[in-house]
Amino acid sequence: MPELPEVETTKTSLMPLLNHRIVKIETSGFRLREPMADLSSLIGTRFIDVKRRAKYLFLQFDKYGDTLELLIHLGMSGSLGQYLATTQPIRKHDHMVITFDHGIRLHYHDPRRFGMIIWKNHAQKYLKNIGPEPLSDAFNAQYLYHIIHKNKPITRPIKSLIMEQKIVVGVGNIYATESLFLSKIHPATPSFLLTLEQLEILVGHIKAILVKAIEVGGSSLKDFSVGDNQTGYFQQTLLAYGREGLPCPSCHLPMESIKIVGRASVFCPFCQPLKLTMGN
DNA sequence: CTCAGATCCTGTGCGC
DNA sequence: TGCGCACAGGATCTGA
């Protein structure tokens, strides 16, 4: 999926739709990760707010004083784009198209269908047990250190830990890879070997890179775009993600890739040596 | 509890 | 040009 910055950017992009009424809803009938909510009750409602928690977007609609709240998750390949109703045809993989009273259509497009469109009050399963927001004060080095050491010390790779939603939400493969590179920590380092100081560096980079990504309009994704036909904001500035075999931006030796929890993890063997003893 | 692997699905890009 | 395969932004579930 788009990672947290992309979801945040998508949220911001929806603001111009606020206070508009829904006049029409079309759906593809395909099952997403869950069967799509029956959206017929949204006709005639007014879009009043949009919030984000983790990578979930909550769209609120006013229906004669009652609030309906829709949860949208973009999965791996989802996006929400806005188009003039007269200009953009409904495409393959547009699974939900909402037409507003000013003629703008919102398209939920998701080729892989790993996303979700469900009513929020049916989403407890997904919303309980999710960790703190990465940009909140609750996500800090002490918190991570406590998690790692509170029971049996956690031995699995630090990368898998920071990508786990129970620990902290919104850190996907791209930003996990980038923040570990910036922190000079090998992605496979057993979590319990990291010192509090190293965790402070890591947490600092995770926050900084997410803030930066949100500032530039969100995206490090090749094909991510918001709204009309804008090209994505693909950042050539990724230092590690997707750069296997290319020179390390710091030392110029070729970067390598290993699999951690099934996902590519690019690192520099010189700048991020695997250390199997505590600290440096 | 922990953790590696499978899984949902389509599109893309590569080697042959 | 086409085929088969590996792999891709997530997150949950299963079984060892």
pLDDT in tens, A167-198: 999 999 999 999 999 999 999 999 999 999 99
Q: Is the pLDDT of residue A136 over 50?
A: yes
- Residue A240 has, within 13 A of its CA and on its CB side, a CA count of 29
Q: List residues of A with catalytic annotation.
A: 2-3, 55, 263
Chain A 61..90 CB hits on strand B (< 7 A): 77
d(CA A240, CA A271): 11
Q: What is the pLDDT of residue A187?
A: 95
For A209: left if phi > 0, alpha if psi spans -120 to 50, otherwise beta; the answer is alpha
Q: Is the pLDDT of residue A163 over 70?
A: yes
Mean pLDDT calculated for residue range A226-246: 66
Share of chain A above pLDDT 70, in %: 92
Q: Is the CB of A113 under 7 A from strand B?
A: yes
Q: What is the pLDDT of residue A142?
A: 95
d(CA A246, CA A269): 12
Tokens, residue A277: 């003893």
Q: Is the CB of A233 under 7 A from strand C?
A: no
C-alpha closest to that of A140 among A65, A203, A77: A203
The DSSP code sequence of A111-165 is TT---EEEEGGG-HHHHTT----TTSTTSSHHHHHHHHHSSSPP-SBHHHHHT-T
Q: Is the CB of A262 under 7 A from strand B?
A: yes
DSSP annotation of A253 reads S
d(CA A233, CA A6): 10
Mean pLDDT calculated for residue range A95-117: 97
Average pLDDT, chain A: 91
Q: What is the CA A192 to C1' B1 distance in angstroms?
A: 16
d(CA A154, CA A241): 25
Q: Is the CB of A174 under 7 A from strand C?
A: yes
Q: Which amino acid is at A86?
A: T
Q: What is the pLDDT of residue A129?
A: 84
d(CA A132, CA A167): 7
Report residue A22's pLDDT band, with 50, 70 and 90 as the boundaries: very high
**Cβ(A134)–Cβ(A45) under 8 Å?**
no
Report residue A235's pLDDT band, with 50, 70 and 90 as the boundaries: low
CA end-to-end span of chain A: 34
Report residue A152's pLDDT band, with 50, 70 and 90 as the boundaries: confident
What does the pLDDT look like over A37-89, one tens digit per residue?
A: 999 999 999 999 999 999 999 999 999 999 999 999 999 999 999 999 988 89
Nucleotides of B under 7 A from a protein CB: 1-11
With b for 16 or more beta-carbon neighbours within 10 A and e for fewer, the A187-223 pattern comes to: bbbbbebbeeebbbbbbebbbebbeebbeebbbbbee
Which nucleotide's C1' atom has the smallest distance to the CA of A173? C9
Q: What is the CA A11 to C1' B2 distance in angstroms?
A: 36
User: How far is Cα of residue A66 from the mean position of the Cα atoms in its chain?
Assistant: 30
* Phi, psi dihedral angles at A215 (to 5 degrees): -60, -40
Q: Are strands A66-73 and A22-27 parallel, antiparallel or unpaired?
A: unpaired
- Residue A80 has, within 13 A of its CA and on its CB side, a CA count of 27
Q: Where are the beta strands (DSSP E) in chain A?
A: 22-27, 46-53, 56-63, 66-73, 79-84, 94-100, 104-109, 116-119, 256-260, 263-267
Q: Is the pLDDT of residue A267 over 60?
A: yes
Q: What is the CA A195 to C1' C2 distance in angstroms?
A: 54
d(CA A19, CA A101): 10
Q: Is the pLDDT of residue A104 over 80?
A: yes
Report residue A277's pLDDT band, with 50, 70 and 90 as the boundaries: confident
pTM, rounded to two decimals: 0.93
* Phi, psi dihedral angles at A88 (to 5 degrees): -110, 115
